[in-house]
A and B are shown apart, each in its own frame.
Chain A
Amino acid sequence: MKRLASIPWLSARVAGRYWHSRNALCHWIVLGVLAFFSTVQSQGDLPAVANRPVDFKKDIEPIFSTHCVRCHGPDKQSSGLRLDDRESALKGGENYVPAIRPKNSSESPLIRLVAGLVPEMKMPQKGEALTLEQIGLLRAWIDQGAQWPEEAKVAKALHWSLNPVVRPEVPRVANSHRKEVQPIDAFILAQLQKKRLNLGTPASRGAFVRRIYLVMHGLPPTPEQVRLFVTDKSSDAVAKLVDRVLDSPRYGERWARHWLDVVRFAESNGFETNHERSNAYHYRDYVIQSLNEDKPYNKFVQEQIAGDYWGVDSGTGFLVAGAVDIVKSPDINLTLMQRQDELADIVNTTGTAFLGLTLGCARCHDHKFDPISQKDFFGIQAVFAGVNFSDRPLRRQLSVTEQEERTILGKTRDDQKASLAALKQQGLAAQLSSLSRKSFRPPVNAQSNEEVFSSIEAKAVRFTILATTGAEPCIDELEIYDSKGTNVALAKDGTTSSASGTLAGYAIHQLKHINDGLTGNSQSWISSTSGNGWVQLDFLTPRPIQKIVWSRDRSNQFKDRVATDYRITAQLTSGEWKEIVTSQDREPFGKEDPNGFLSHLPEQEAKLARELQSQLKKSEERFSELSKGTPAWLGSFSQPKPTHRLYRGDPMQEREVVAPDAVAVLGTLGLAVDEPEQQRRIKLAEWIVNPRHPLTARVMVNRIWHYIFGTGIVDTPSDFGANGGVPTNTALLDWLADEFVRSGWSIKHIQKLILSSETFGQSSSPRKEGLANDAEARLLWRFPPRRLEAEAIRDCILATSGALDFRMGGPGFSLQIKENDNVDRYFPKEHFTTNEFRRMIYLTRIRQQQDSVFGAFDCPSGNQVIPKRTRSNTPLQALNLLNSNFVLEQSAVLSARLLQTAGSQPKSQVSEAFKLVYGREPDGFESSNSIAMIRDHGLDAFCRALFNTSEFLFVF
C-alpha cells in the first residue's frame, strides 16, 4: 500500500492500493521529475545515517530483496530502474540518472524517494514503508561508497506468507499485576505496548458468559447457563465454561455457518433456473459434525477435496457447492464457457478457502500481484477437471459387522440368483415345448434392434412409427444391410433420406443424421410429431437387402422416445410397397411377464422358486441399503480429457496441455497429464495439508481469530497475497499456526487458547487513549463490540422466546414458497409453523433469494465466496425488526413465556425479561421505564421493543 505520510489528507482520502496497470508511466515521470527538483529539502529531513560499517550482503540485499526488486528487478522494471544487479542499479532508471550517487546519500534520488521527500512518489509504492533504521543503513552504505560485490544478484523476496512458519519466541512483557502471561496475551501486549496501550480490565462475569455463548454458539446463554458460570467461584471456572461451550453441539452449528460462507455453499443452482438442490444438505451436516467432533483440520481439508477416496463422500459437497448454469445449448461456445466457469469456481474456492490464495485471478493471465502463473491456474484446474455436478449416491460408512454382513449377503444373493435362474430356465423350456405358437421376439430397446428377413430387391425402405415410449420418436441411425453384410443406407453412398417431419430448432436432431454413419443422441433424427412419424431411405439403385439395424441411442444414454410400435416397408423394383417387418411379433415393450415361467414348473419347484424370489428380493434390498445409500448433491467424478491452458481464459483458444499440479512456487505434485482422476485430488490435498505448507495453517488460525474478534490478524482472511492485508501481529499469527499443526490440527485447541486469554476476556468498554490511537481496536486494547449476523439474530430471537427447535441435521426447512414453471421462483412465507423455528443453519439456502426479514442484515446469497461479511446498519433492517410478522409473533411468544414464568407483576416480568434477553438484571432506570412501558402498552409491545435494542443485537 502506498503511504504518503507527508501528505496526510491524501493518505486518508485516497486510500489505497495500486490498480491493474494499463498505460505507460509517463505522467508519473513528469510529475516525479518536476517534484523532485522543485522540492528542495534540507538534509535535516532525512533519517540519520547508520553509524557503523555496512555489509551489502547482510544489510542491504535483504532491503532490496523485500522492498524493491518486485517492481525494479528481473520481472518488471518500473521507470526502467533495476535494483537487482550492480551495473543496472548504479546506472539508474529513466528519470533519475544515477539513482545512487556513491558517497553522497543525501543527494541520491533513491534515498529521497524512500524517505518520502518527493510528493506522490514515496517508494516503495506497494507494501510496507522502509523503517528509519533501514533508510539509515542505505544512507550509510551509499556514503561508504555503495560497495556492491560484482557477482551479487538480488532475488525477489517471497511475500511474507509464502515463507515457512517459524515458531517465534514468546515475548517477555513487562507486567506488574499479572502472575503468568499466556503466550497469546504476551504477543498482544507486546504490540499494544509499542503504541503505549494496554489490555482493558476483565469483562464482568455476566458480560463474559454472554459473549462466549454468542461468539461460539450464536445463541445467548440461558439463565441457567449464566448462573452456572457466575456462581462458580473455582479457579478453573473459565476453563470449565470453555469446555462446556466447545462440547456443545450448538458450537458446530454456529461455526459451520462461517465455513459455508467461505466455500460459497447454497442449495440451488443459481442463474435463471435456480432449481433447488434438495440433497445438498449432506455436506452441511458433514461440516457441522466435523467441527463438533474436532476433526483434525488436515483431514477436514482432505475429505472435502477427495473424501470419496477416504469413504467420506459427503465432504466432496465442497467441490460442487457453487452456482452452476444448467441451461444447455447446442452452441459450443456457450457450453465450453459454462464448463470453464464451473471449474474456475472450484479452483478459486480451493485457493481462497484453504490457502488464502486468490488463484482465480490467474485465469486469464498471470496473477498481477502474487507468484501464481496462468499455468499454475490450469494445473490446479486439471486436478478438478473430472468433477461433475449432479446428485450421486451417498455411501455411508459401514461398521465392521455391517461390512461382514455385506460380504456374506453378496454371496448369498449370487447363490439365490443362480438357483432361480436354473429354475427359470427349466420353466421356460417347459413353456416352449408346451406351446405350439410362434415364440415372440424380445421387446424393442433403446440401444440396438435387429430386424432380419428373407432377402428382397428394394428401391427404398420406409420405417413408419405408430407409437413410442413417449414424445416424438428419435432414431440415431437406420442401417440396412445387403446380402454381403454391407450397410447400404449411408448417405455417402448416395442413399437419400426423407421424413414425415423433423423437430425444429435442433442442430443435433436433423434428418441427415439418420444415415450419416454417426450414432448417439447428438447425431439423431427426431420426428416433428409426438408418438409417430416416418423416415424413408431411397437407394441410388435397387439393392438386395436382408437385415435392418436401428437404435434410439447406440451409446445407451438416452432411453426415451423409443419406437415401440412400427412397421417397415420396402419398395420393390416394380414400384409396389411391401411390408417386410413389424413390431407385432415382438414381446410387448415393458410388459414382459417375469413370472410366466412359474406356471410351467412342477408344484414343488414352483414353490421353491417363489420362496427364492422373495428371499432374493430381501437380500437385494438389504445389499443395496448397505452399498448405495441415498442420492446426494456431492462431487461425482469421471476421467477427464487433458486440460489445456486457455489463451486469455477463452475456452475456444486452447494452448499447450497442462498436467495436474500445485502452485509452482510452493512445490509440485509430479503428476502425469493423464493421471487417474481421483489420484489428482488426493495429491493436491496432501500438498495443501503438508505441515510445512506456509499458508494452510496460517490461513485457518487467522479465520478462527477473525470469527472470535470480528477482524482477523490479517484483515483479508481469504487473501494472504501481496494485495491482501498486512498482519497486525505476524509473530502471533505464526505462533498460532505452529501451535495448530503441533496440536494435530485441532481447531478446538486453538479456540480454547484464545477463549482462555485475557485478550478475549477483557471488557469491551472504550477508552480515550484507545479510540485515539487505534479506533478499530485492531490491536485489541478492548474486545471490539459488533452487530450479530443475520442468522444469529434470528436464532437469538427464537432462543429467547423459547420457540427454538433444536432438531439437528437432515433436510432443511424453507422460509419461501416455491413456484415452478420452467424456472423456480420463490416467495416469502408470511406465517410460520414450528418447522420453521429450527436454527438458521438448517435453512435451505436458495441463491438470490434473501429471507424477507433477515436477508437485509448483510446475509450473503451464496454466489461468491464470503471470507468476511460486511456489516451495515440500515433503515430496512430496522423496519424488518419492528414490523415483520416473524418478530411480532415471537414477541407474543416471549410475552406468553414471561407471563408463565414471572406471573402478572410487571416488576418480575421485567426482571425475567432482562435475564432472558440480556442475561442480566435491569438497573433502576431500565426497570422503571420498562414497568411503565408494560403498564401503558402491554407485554407484547415491551417484548417487541427488546428485540430491537442494540444490546440484544450486538456482541459486547
Chain B
Amino acid sequence: MPERNHPFLNRRAFLSHSATALSGMALTHLLARDRVLASGERLPIRPQIDPANPNALRAPHFKPRAKQVLMIFSAGGCSHLDTFDYKPELIKRHGQPMPGGDKLVTFQGAQGSLTQSPWTFRPRGKCGKMVSDLVPRLGDLADQMCFIHSLTGKTNTHGPGENFMNTGFTLDGFPSIGAWTTFALGSVNENLPAYVAIPDPRGVPQSAGNCWNPGFLPAAFQGTDFNAIKPLRNLARPANISAGKDRSTREFISRLNRHHLANYPGDTELAARISSYELAAHMQLSVPEVSDISTEPAHVLKMYGADSAGDKTQEIKAGYAKNCILARRLIEKGVRFVQLFNGAYQVGGEGTSNWDGHKVLKDQYTVHGEVLDQPTAALISDLNQRGLLKDTLVVWCTEFGRMPTFQAGASGRDHNPSGFTAWLAGAGVKAPFSYGATDEFGYKSVENIATVYDFHATILQILGLDHERLSFYHNGIERRLTDVHGEVIKDILSST
C-alpha cells in the first residue's frame, strides 16, 4: 500500500521504483491530458520523495510554463485604488456618499464618502495602462504585467487574510504555497534551500511563520527564512571553532555514523540522516555566497535603491532593496520558490509598518510606495535583462484591497476583500494584459470574478501542476492548496 502519512518512500523502494515510475508517470500524464482521468474522482499524483534528498528535482504533472516563482507579498492590505485599479467615477464622485454605503459596516465600522486617490493616475508603458503616481516605476513596467483586478477574498481581517493568500486557508497551520510547490517539484539546486522566505527589514508579516510554514507537510518543505540583514541562523561555523577542527569533527561524526550503519543495512532513515549532513555542508558554502550582495557592482545597488540613505524611510527602502537583490540572486541560482515580503507586522501603530492605511492613508502610503516602487521595479527589470523571466513567474499580491470610501471621521480606507488587484509577470502569463474588473468605484468585483483559490490554481497550473491532484492526506482529507475549489484562470495564461 502506498504511504500516505509517511511520504518519504523507503529508499530501497524509491530506487527500485524509479525506473518503472518514469514510464508510469508518462502514461499517467497522457491519460490526464486526454482527460481520461478527469472523471469525478481524480487520483492524487504523489511526488516520489527520496528521503536522502527530499528536495531533489521532481517532474511536474505536465509541461510547465514556468519553473520558478518569485512571490512578492505586500502585507497589511495594499489599496488597489491608490495603485493599479483606475476608477474615473471615483474621481468624478469624490466627496459623495457611496450608494448603499451608509448602512455598510466594514472591518472598523461605518463609511464616510467616496474618496479619490491622493495620487494621480497616468497612462504607462506602450499599452497605456493607468497606474498611479504612488508606484510610477512599477507603472513603467506595465507592458510586462498581467493584472487581475477582480480578486476576492474570504475574510476582512489581517491574520486570516494573510493565511488565505499564502496557504489557501484562513485558519493557521496549513502548508504555504511554497511548501506545496517544493513538495511537488523539489529544486534544481541541491546546495541551496528549495524554498526561501525573505522577511521585510522591519520584521515578519502579520501571519508570521504561517506564511512559509509546511503545515502538516514534512519539515523538509518549510520555507527557510533569512534576508539580507539577518543571515540564516546556525548556518555559519561557530566563531571559536577553527575550520580544521570543524572538518575533523564532521569526519568523525561521519565515521561513527557509517560504522553504526553497517549494522542496519538498507535502513532508509539512517541513510537519510547521513545525507542531511552532506547537504548541510554544501549549504554552508552556497548560502553565504548567494547572500553576499557586497559583490554587486555600485550601479546595481543604485538601480535597486540599495544605496538609499538619509531618513528612516530611505533606510527601510535600502533594506528592502537589498532583499530584492537577494531575491534575484536566489532565482539566478535556481531556488524554486522565493517569497519576498514588503511590510511587516503591526508595530508603531496601525499602518506604520505595513499597508494598513485606516486613518492617515496619504502620509503612510507615501512611505510604503517609496519603499516598494523602485526596488521592486529594479528587481523585475534585472530579472528580465538577465533572461530569468523566461522561466520565472513573478507574482505580486496582498491579503485584500481597501474601500473606495474613507472611513467615517477618518482619512484612510478600511479593509475590502470584495475586490482587489494582484499582478503577475514573467513566464506563463500574457502581458500586457488586464483581467477582470471591479465596479465603477472599485468596491466589488463584477467582471470575471476571481477567487484566491483560482489565483492559486493558476499559479500551480503555470508550474505544470494540477491543483486538484496535488494533495496530501491529513486528518481524514486529501488536503489541497485550493481546498475543494479553484478554477484555473485560463484567459491569462501565455500560449505554450
A949 contacts B253, CB within 8 Å? yes
Kindly identify which residue among B44, B159, B171 contacts A272, using a CB–CB cutoff of 8 Å: B159
Do A19 and B270 touch (CB < 8 A)?
no
Q: Is the CB–CB distance between B171 and A329 below 8 Å?
A: no
CB-contacts of A843-872 with B (<8 A): 847-850, 852-853, 856-859, 861-868, 870-872
Residues A874 and B219 in contact in the complex (CB < 8 Å), given A20-B484, A723-B476: yes
Residues 7-51 of chain A, each 1 if its beta carbon lies under 8 Å from chain B, else 0: 011111111111111111111101100000000000000000000
Choice from A766, A936, A944 contacting B267 with Cβ under 8 Å: A766
A817 part of interface (Cβ distance < 8 Å): no
A505 touches B109 (CB 8 A): yes
- Which chain A residues border B207 with CB–CB below 8 Å? 271-272, 848
Cβ-defined contact, B280 with A929, below 8 A: no
Contact indicator B156/A331 (Cβ below 8 Å): yes
- Are A849 and B28 in touch, CB under 8 angstroms? no
Give the shortest distance, in Å, between B144 (CB) and chain A (any CB).
33
Tell me which residues across on chain A come within 8 A of B234, comparing CB atoms: 852-853, 876, 879-880, 882-884
CA distance A815 to B2 in the complex (A): 39
Task: Evaluate contact between A504 and B269: CB separation under 8 angstroms.
Answer: no
B490 within 8 A of A: no
A466 at the interface (CB under 8 A from B): no
Instruction: Tell me if B280 and A882 are in contact (CB < 8 A).
Output: yes
What residues on A are CB-neighbors of B277 within 8 Å?
Answer: 875, 878, 882, 948
Q: Is the pair B209, A870 in contact by a Cβ cutoff of 8 Å?
A: no
- Quick check: A505 and B204 within 8 Å, CB to CB? no
Q: How far is the CB of B19 from chain A (nearest CB, A)?
A: 9
Interface residues of B in 234-275 (CB under 8 A from A): 234-238, 241, 245, 248-250, 252-253, 255-257, 259-261, 263-270, 272-275
Q: Check if A310 is an interface residue, CB within 8 A of chain B.
A: no
Q: Kindly provide the distance from the CB of B192 to the nearest chain A CB, expressed in whole angstroms.
A: 10
B8 within 8 A of A: yes
Q: Is there a chain B Cβ closer than 8 Å to A873's Cβ?
A: yes
Q: Find residues 215-273 in chain A having any chain B CB closer than 8 Å to their own CB.
A: 270-273
Q: Which residues of A contact B245 (CB under 8 A)?
A: 937, 941
How many Å from the CB of B164 to the closest CB on chain A?
Answer: 12
User: Which residue of the partner chain A has the closest CB to B204?
Assistant: A825
On whether the beta carbons of B12 and A936 are closer than 8 Å, the reply is no
User: In chain B between 139 and 165, which residues have their CB closer than 8 angstroms to a CB of chain A?
Assistant: 155-160, 162-163
Residues of B within 8 A of A358 (CB): 475-477
Whether B407 and A505, one on each chain, are in contact in the complex, defined by CB atoms closer than 8 angstroms, is yes
Contact B253 A883, beta carbon cutoff 8 Å: no
Establish whether residues A19 and B43, one from each chain, have CB atoms under 8 Å apart when the complex forms: yes
Which of B35, B107, B238 contacts A329 (CB under 8 A)? Answer: B107
Nearest CB in chain A to that of B236: its residue: A883
Residue of A nearest to B20 (CB): A9
Select A28's contact among B39, B51, B210, B261, beta carbons within 8 Å: B39
Contact: B4 with A725, CB < 8 Å? yes
Residues of B within 8 A of A954 (CB): 269-270, 273
Residues on the B chain within 8 Å of A888, using CB: 238
CA distance A274 to B160 in the complex (A): 12
- Bound Cα distance A325, B156 (Å): 12
Proximity string of chain A (795-826) to chain B, C-beta cutoff 8 Å, 1 when within and 0 when not: 00000000000000000000000000111010
Query: How far, in whole Å, are A20 and B348 apart by their CA atoms in the complex?
Result: 46
**Does A950 reach chain B (CB closer than 8 Å)?**
yes
CA gap between A15 and B12 in the complex, in Å? 17
Knowing A272-B162, A272-B346, say if A787 contacts B203 (CB, 8 Å).
Answer: no
Measured CB to CB, the nearest residue on chain A to B25 is A13
A875 touches B276 (CB 8 A): yes
B130 within 8 A of A: no
A847 touches B172 (CB 8 A): yes
Closest to A13 in B: B24
Report Cα–Cα, A864/B167, bound state, in Å: 14
With contact pairs A19-B468, A785-B270, A850-B209 given, residues A871 and B218 touching in the complex (Cβ less than 8 Å): yes
A528 to B410, CA, bound (A): 12
Contact present for A933 and B219 (CB under 8 Å): no
Q: Are B279 and A504 in contact (CB under 8 A)?
A: no
CA distance A504 to B171 in the complex (A): 30
Q: Are B158 and A272 in contact (CB under 8 A)?
A: yes
**Residue on B nearest A368 in the bound complex, by CB:** B477
Q: Which residues of A contact B109 (CB under 8 A)?
A: 329-330, 505-508
By a CB distance below 8 angstroms, the chain B residues around A930 are 252
- Whether, in the assembled complex, A775 has its beta carbon less than 8 Å from a beta carbon of chain B, the answer is yes
What is the CA–CA distance of A150 and B42 in the complex, to the nearest angstrom?
37
B425 CB, nearest partner CB in chain A, Å: 29
| Bound-complex Cα distance A10 to B208 (A) | 40
Asked if A868 and B5 sit within 8 Å, CB to CB, the answer is yes
Contacts of A850 in B (CB 8 A): 209
8 Å CB contact of B54 from A764, A866, A872: A872
Q: Knowing A24-B40, A330-B108, A334-B107, say if A719 contacts B476 (CB, 8 Å).
A: yes
Q: How far is the CB of A400 from chain B (nearest CB, A)?
A: 45
In the complex, chain B residues whose CB is within 8 Å of the CB of A919: none
A930 to B232, CA, bound (A): 31
CA distance A360 to B171 in the complex (A): 13
Across-interface contacts of B222 in A (CB, < 8 A): 856, 876
List A contacts of B218 (CB < 8 A). 858, 870-872
Asked if residues A9 and B107 are in contact (CB atoms below 8 Å), the reply is no
Scan residues 925-954 of chain A and give those whose CB is less than 8 A from a CB of chain B.
925-926, 929-930, 933, 936-937, 941-942, 944-946, 948-951, 953-954
Indicate whether A864 sits within 8 Å of B215 (C-beta atoms), given known contacts A331-B105, A874-B276.
yes
Cβ-defined contact, A510 with B110, below 8 A: yes
Q: Cβ of A877 < 8 Å from any Cβ of B?
A: yes
Instruction: Chain B residues near A457: list those with CB within 8 A.
Output: none
A949/B257 in contact, CB under 8 A: yes
Q: Which residues of B contact A724 (CB under 8 A)?
A: 476
CB atoms of A858 and B13 under 8 A apart: no
Let me know if B41 and A21 touch, CB within 8 A. Answer: yes
Distance between B140 CB and nearest chain A CB, rounded to angstroms: 34
Are B160 and A12 neighbours in the complex by a CB distance under 8 Å?
no
**A111: shortest Cβ distance to chain B, in Å?**
23
Query: What's the Cα separation between A872 and B277 when bound, in Å?
Result: 13
B17 touches A12 (CB 8 A): yes
In the complex, which residues of chain B have a beta carbon less than 8 angstroms from the beta carbon of A723?
Answer: 473, 476-477
Instruction: Please determine whether A9 and B256 come into contact, CB atoms closer than 8 angstroms.
Output: no
Interface residue B100 (Cβ < 8 Å from any Cβ of A):
no
* From A787, A859, A866, A937, contact of B249 by CB (8 A): A937
Using an 8 Å CB-CB cutoff, how does the interface string of B4-19 with A read, 1 for contact, 0 for none?
1111101011000100
- Closest Cβ of chain B to A506, distance in Å, is 5
Considering only residues 188-245 of chain B, those with a C-beta below 8 Å from chain A are: 193, 203-204, 206-210, 213, 215-220, 222, 224, 232-238, 241, 245
Return the contact of B263 from the options A28, A765, A828, A866 (Cβ within 8 A). Answer: A765
Chain B proximity of A698: nearest CB distance (Å):
16
Cβ 8 A contact of B219, one of A20, A334, A872: A872
CB–CB A331/B106 < 8 A: yes
Given A716-B5, A848-B213, A875-B279, do A504 and B409 touch, yes or no (CB 8 Å)? yes
Residue with the highest number of chain A CB atoms closer than 10 Å, among B2, B27, B46, B207:
B2
Contact in complex: A856, B475 (CB < 8 Å): no
A373 located at the interface, meaning its Cβ lies under 8 Å from any Cβ of chain B in the complex:
no
Partner of B46, one of A14, A505, A719: A14
A872 and B220 form a contact (CB under 8 A): yes
- A870 pairs with B217, CB closer than 8 A: yes
Q: Which A residues, 147 to 189, have Cβ-Cβ distances below 8 Å to chain B?
A: none
Contacts of B105 in A (CB 8 A): 330-332, 507
* Contact between chains at B24 and A10 (CB < 8 Å): yes
Interchain residue pairs A-B with the least CB separation, the first 3: A504-B409, A863-B173, A358-B476
Q: Can you identify 24 A-B contacts, CB atoms within 8 angstroms?
A: A12-B21, A13-B28, A20-B478, A23-B38, A271-B160, A323-B171, A323-B173, A330-B105, A352-B476, A358-B477, A360-B476, A776-B10, A822-B346, A825-B345, A848-B209, A852-B234, A866-B216, A870-B5, A873-B54, A879-B284, A933-B252, A946-B256, A951-B256, A951-B260
Task: List 5 additional contacts besides A848-B210, A858-B219; criterion CB under 8 Å.
Answer: A16-B2, A26-B39, A271-B159, A334-B107, A882-B280
